[in-house]
């Protein structure tokens, strides 16, 4: 388990900031998990960054700012709250009209491990608009009994991925709400979760541990207090539960390699019996 403070991307020049755990994992880096690399991308107003990873999937989430990307000769406008996914073989230049911060995830470490080059595009470049995501999440949250559900969230789904319901064939992403005064029941899965915290008041945190007691509670948990604009990694197979002890809703985006795990029939998501 590893937490990344928002301090790592606050201030400074235009740059890509990898969340690198290669030393802890003992594998060639940069990596955030064996299959994925997460980064923060900071772009000052009027400046740009280029990306051309050896990856089958790229996912961008715009935390702050506004701008546009030139992707293989086409232009894509984006603003705060938008998601953008790009397939294999894309060479992109991302221009910021105002100071911009993105969260950027690829499966480049998976390709590096396989010794392969990503050439076949499995989906088209796709933008998920903030307004659409927020509208869908609000509709779910306002349904009767929503607070009794274990998750109040929207799964982002590319039309090509009817079997896995994932944002690309490798990546899974969820736009989630943790309602005020609520908690998620403990659960686990074999995909590594890269959790991005969008907004939260004090009193929001996650508990993580390797086993449950007979009441379905996590034994000797590690506590991770949420920070807006921060991120943390939930290892595979580790039980975890999200808590909001405040009187204000909080939002998060977990990203996983669950598209790949679902294809391999190895995701193995489980929930505790406690309700």
Q: Which helix (H) or strand (E) holds 15?
A: strand 15-18
Q: What stretches of the chain show up as alpha helix (H) in DSSP?
A: 22-25, 108-114, 130-141, 258-263
Q: What is the 3-state secondary structure (H, E, C) of 93-120?
A: EEEECCCEEEEEEECHHHHHHHCCCCCC
pLDDT tens for 173-213 read 999 999 999 988 899 999 999 999 999 999 999 999 999 99
Supply angle C-alpha 76, 77, 79, rounded to 5.
Answer: 140
Whether 275 has a pLDDT exceeding 60, the answer reads no
Domain limits, the chain? 2-127, 130-271
For the domain made up of 130-271, give the CATH fold: Jelly Rolls (2.60.120)
The SS3 assignment for 153 reads strand
* Location of structure tokens 């193995």: 268
pLDDT for 125 equals 96
> Residue 173: how many CA atoms within 13 Å on its side-chain side?
28
Q: Which helix (H) or strand (E) holds 242?
A: strand 239-244
Residues written for the chain: 275
Q: What percentage of the chain reaches a pLDDT higher than 70?
A: 97
Q: Which among 108, 115, 102 has a CA at the least distance from the CA of 89?
A: 108
- CATH code for the structural domain at 2-127: 2.60.120.10
CA distances from 193 to 1, 37, 148 (A): 10, 11, 23
β-bridge mates for residue 31, sequence order:
none
| pTM score of the predicted model | 0.95
The SS3 assignment for 198 reads strand
Quick one: 107 exposed, middle or buried, by C-beta within 10 A (0-12, 13-18, 19+)?
buried
pLDDT for 273 equals 78
Whether 150 has a pLDDT exceeding 80, the answer reads no
pLDDT tens for 26-67 read 999 999 999 999 999 999 999 999 999 999 999 999 999 999
> Predicted confidence band at 143 (pLDDT cuts at 50, 70, 90)?
confident
């Amino acid at each position: 388990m590893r937490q990344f403070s928002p301090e790592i991307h606050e201030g400074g020049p235009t740059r890509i900031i990898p969340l690198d755990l290669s030393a802890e994992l003992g594998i060639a880096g940069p990596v955030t998990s064996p299959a994925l690399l997460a980064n923060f991308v900071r772009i000052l107003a009027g400046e740009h960054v280029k990306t051309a990873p050896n990856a089958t999937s790229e996912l961008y989430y715009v935390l702050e700012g506004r701008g546009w990307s030139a992707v293989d000769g086409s232009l894509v406008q984006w603003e705060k709250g938008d998601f953008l996914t790009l397939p294999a073989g894309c060479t992109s230049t991302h221009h910021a009209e105002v100071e911009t911060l993105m969260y950027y995830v690829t499966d480049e470490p998976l390709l590096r491990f396989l010794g392969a080059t990503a050439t076949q595009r499995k989906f088209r470049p796709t933008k998920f608009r903030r307004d659409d995501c927020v509208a869908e999440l609000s509709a779910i949250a306002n349904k009767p009994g929503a607070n009794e559900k274990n998750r109040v969230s929207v799964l982002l789904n590319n039309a090509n991925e009817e079997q896995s319901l994932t944002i690309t064939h490798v990546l899974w992403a969820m736009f989630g709400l943790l309602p005020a005064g609520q908690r998620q029941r403990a659960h686990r899965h074999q995909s590594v979760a890269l959790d991005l915290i969008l907004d939260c008041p004090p009193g929001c945190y996650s508990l993580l541990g390797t086993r449950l007691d007979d009441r379905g509670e996590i034994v000797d948990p590690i506590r991770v207090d949420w920070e807006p604009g921060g991120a943390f990694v939930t290892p595979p197979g580790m039980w975890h539960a999200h808590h909001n002890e405040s009187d204000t809703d909080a939002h998060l985006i977990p990203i996983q390699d669950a598209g790949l795990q679902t294809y391999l029939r190895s995701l193995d998501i489980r929930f505790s019996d406690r309700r």
